[in-house]
Amino acid sequence: MSEKTIMLCCAAGMSTSMLVAKMQTAAKEQGKEYDIFAVSASEIDQKLVEKEIDVVLLGPQIRYMKNDIEKKLVDKKIPMDVIDMQSYGMMKGAKVLEQAEGLMA
């Protein structure tokens, strides 16, 4: 059973999958059992029904969708933010994991 569930969202769900792998490695190295996965923007609603999500991170390329997605999360009290562009571009898994944990604190 995972401690926390972190959902990353991007346009197609593909570019974030590499970042997910790096975040999973960082979590494992820190002894944390997190369920970290990536979805496309079109899959967000479905995943919110299927899973208990603790935090949502948006890829910088869909930051324009932040307000719409926030509306879906407010009743569920799920924190959300846009992934720091530099951390995303350089695929800094540990840094993005830290960002997610900060939102869940």
Catalytic annotation, pick one of 7, 9, 10, 55 = 10
**Residue 87 carries which side chain, given as an amino acid letter?**
S
* Cα(66)–Cα(80) distance, integer angstroms: 8
Secondary structure in 3-state letters for the chain: CCCEEEEEEECCCCHHHHHHHHHHHHHHHCCCCEEEEEEEHHHHHHHHHHCCCCEEEECHHHHHHHHHHHHHHHCCCCCEEECCHHHHHCCCHHHHHHHHHHHHC
10 annotated active-site: yes
What are the catalytic residues? Answer: 10
